[in-house]
Amino acid sequence: MSVIKTEHLTHTYSQGTSYERAAISDINLEIEAGKMIGIIGHTGSGKSTLIQHFNGLLRPTEGKIYVDGEDIWEKPKEIRKVRFRVGLVFQYPEYQLFEDTVYQDIAFGPKNMGLSEEEIDRRVKEAALFVGLKDDQMEKSPFELSGGQKRRVAIAGVIAMSPEVLILDEPTAGLDPKGRDRILGQILEYHQEQKKTILLVSHSMEDVAKYTEQVLVMNHSRVDMFDDVEQVFSRSKEIEAMGLAVPQVSRVFLSLREKGWPVPQNVYTVERAKEALERIMQQGGKAHA
Amino acid sequence: MLKDITIGQYFPGHSVLHRLDPRMKILLTIGYIVMLFTVSNPLGLGVGILFLIFAYAISKIPPKMITKSLKPVIPIIIFTTLLNMFFVKGDPLVDWWIFHISRQGLLTAVVMTIRIICLIAGTSLLTYTTSPITLTDGLERLMKPLKKIHFPVHELSMMMTIALRFIPTLIEETDKIMNAQKARGADLESGGVIQRAKALVPILIPLFVSAFRRADELALAMECRCYRGDVGRTRMKQLHYSWQDGVAAAVTVLCIGMVVVVNIFAPVVF
Ligand SMILES: Nc1ncnc2c1ncn2[C@@H]1O[C@H](COP(=O)(O)OP(=O)(O)OP(=O)(O)O)[C@@H](O)[C@H]1O
Ligand SMILES: [Mg+2]
């Protein structure tokens, strides 16, 4: 069964004024539980707008959203409960830290859920472990940490609510390659261990190719593709026509195919590329012998 | 919701009023306000209202903007109207229980209401047709003589410019932080006064932190570009009076002149 389902979801900002425009329109999606999904799309295509509907921060101007089969806007008073089930980490989340210590900041979400002290403590420690925060950092002020560490505290703050669906809006923006790999690796680990659904908005095709199972492509306020990574990146031409990049390896292999080399179409990570090239070289070697 | 605030809102356009020199606009607005409050005759007040309608017409600002700018001052208008109506002594019109309304009281109330409406609409016209940067630039130039008595004119206008520049940024940021805390289950909408005040902490702290960070960065950026205050500073956009400013001044002075003549020769009514 799908965790999140949308029907004709449409959102128009500043409705009724001259600035009116649809940021997303007529979106019909079914997101399966337990998947790790990448969301890509050019700037302004409506990615952030879409994900803010999944936890009820934005109310659709048209259409419906179901979480676990329930229409989330049926009882608007209870929308807060949806936010505990669908956790959302905003872009540059480090700017939302406010407590005296890292520990208290991570505990903010669980406290709002009204959990018991022990449960909060357990969740905070678990979340801190997941994002790789050390014990001696827990009693520090969040404002003393480096940018990357702050980012991890913020992500832990959402993970501590233990949401069924975790959505991250460009969690690696502005981090160095090592920091990116570490954070994405930890998110992947969380996904694999806890079997939670993850939605990852990213501008990096390499990251999407490496970490996710399915990809959702947004283009001009609509969903253009939603399929397995392989299927999506085999349509590299269309993706590039939207003004998006495809993983560099994909592009190399695309031109190799165009030049008549017998390489497979579904190569989008460096590992696969290596395998494919090795196979060709072996075959090539035999042919020469 | 937060985006509906219209303080110092500017309506980009190409009308004559938009192109006038900000100094002229400020001076003429002051002149107009003084006139509004010295007028003592319905005829003069009529001239003032017509002048304002005329100015709005050539500015091409949609008339509904007038009502928008009046909305926040409605309580003040109602308050002064009631005060004048009930407490100005004169020939009684209504005398019932504790309510005493006199003819003079009613008249003063009506005139006062018209004056306040014209005042707000007039000053709003100034901010609608002048971008905040130009406006502070004009103010700085007008107050230049005060520098002789060591009044920090430049510093004040720089502060104003920066404040105006950052209002939209801060509003946007507040929205973002509110959303982020809501996503962590913060409850901003329910509870009593104390609970609501407490719920503001997770929003205000990040907001202040980021405002200070921005201020720091801005100061550094200004310093890197050798900003040293007013000393030896020249401007990219020099202010110049043009013939249009002359015409605007002439029309306004004519209007004020008419009101003065009316004030002197027509009977004093209020
Ligand atoms: N609060 C808002 N008010 C009005 N318009 C908005 C608002 N937020 C976004 N928009 C508009 O909606 C459209 C979609 O914006 P959105 O932020 O969802 O894009 P995005 O895909 O997340 O882009 P990016 O990759 O740059 O983050 C844009 O055209 C934007 O200008
Ligand atoms: Mg975005």
Residue range B223-253, pLDDT digits in tens: 999 898 888 888 888 888 999 999 999 999 9
**Mean pLDDT over residues A190-204, rounded?**
92
How many Cα atoms occupy the beta-carbon half-sphere of B62 within 13 Å?
Answer: 8
pLDDT for A289 equals: 42
Do A215 and A262 lie in one domain? The reply is no
pLDDT for B68 equals: 84
Are residues A175 and A207 in contact, defined by beta-carbon separation less than 8 angstroms? no
Domain that holds residue A277: 247-289
Interface test with chain A among B177, B184, B204, by most A beta carbons within 10 Å = B184
| Residues of A in Cβ contact (< 8 Å) with B62 | none
Give the Cα separation of A36 and A84 in Å (integer).
19
pLDDT for B245 equals: 93
Is A48 a member of any domain? yes
Residue range B146-160, pLDDT digits in tens: 989 988 998 988 898
More confident residue, A201 or A259: A201
Burial of A77 (0-12, 13-18, 19+ CB in 10 A): exposed
**Count of domains for chain B:** 1
Is B211 a member of any domain? no
Q: Do B205 and A55 touch (CB under 8 A)?
A: no
pLDDT for A18 equals: 62
Do A158 and A220 lie in one domain? The reply is yes
Q: Name A49's Cβ contacts closer than 8 Å, sequence gap at least 6.
A: A11, A13, A23, A24, A58
Is B58 a member of any domain? yes
Residue range B106-137, pLDDT digits in tens: 888 999 999 999 999 999 999 999 988 888 88
Is B68 a member of any domain? yes
Do A47 and A107 lie in one domain? The reply is yes
User: Which chain B residues in 109-168 lie under 8 Å from chain A, judged by CB atoms?
Assistant: none
Do A201 and A253 lie in one domain? The reply is no
Tell me which residue of A232, A235, A132 sits closest to A179, measured CA to CA.
A132
pLDDT for B184 equals: 93
Give the Cα separation of B251 and B60 in Å (integer).
18
Do A7 and A132 lie in one domain? The reply is yes
Q: Is residue A56 left, alpha or beta, with left meaning phi > 0 and alpha meaning psi from -120 to 50? A: left
Is A238 a member of any domain? no
Do A117 and A215 lie in one domain? The reply is yes
**Mean pLDDT over residues A67-94, rounded?**
91
| Residues of A in Cβ contact (< 8 Å) with B183 | 55, 57, 83, 87-90, 158
Is B132 a member of any domain? yes
Is A236 a member of any domain? no
Do A163 and A98 lie in one domain? The reply is yes
More confident residue, B86 or A52: A52
Which residues lie with the beta carbon below 6 Å from any ligand 1 atom? Answer: A 13-14, 23, 41, 43-49
Q: Which of A180, A202, A229 is the last residue of a domain?
A: A229
Mean pLDDT across chain A, nearest whole number? 89
Is B236 a member of any domain? no
Do A46 and A152 lie in one domain? The reply is yes
Task: Choose among A89, A95, A161: nearest Cβ to B185.
Answer: A161
B159, B162, B163, B164 alpha-carbon torsion, rounded to 10°: 120
Q: What is the ipTM of this complex?
A: 0.86
Closest C-alpha to ligand 1, atom 16: A46
Is A195 a member of any domain? yes
Tell me which residue of B103, B99, B106 sits closest to B84, measured CA to CA.
B106
Is A133 a member of any domain? yes
Is B69 a member of any domain? yes
Domain that holds residue B140: 8-145+245-265
> Which CATH number do you get for residue A24?
3.40.50.300
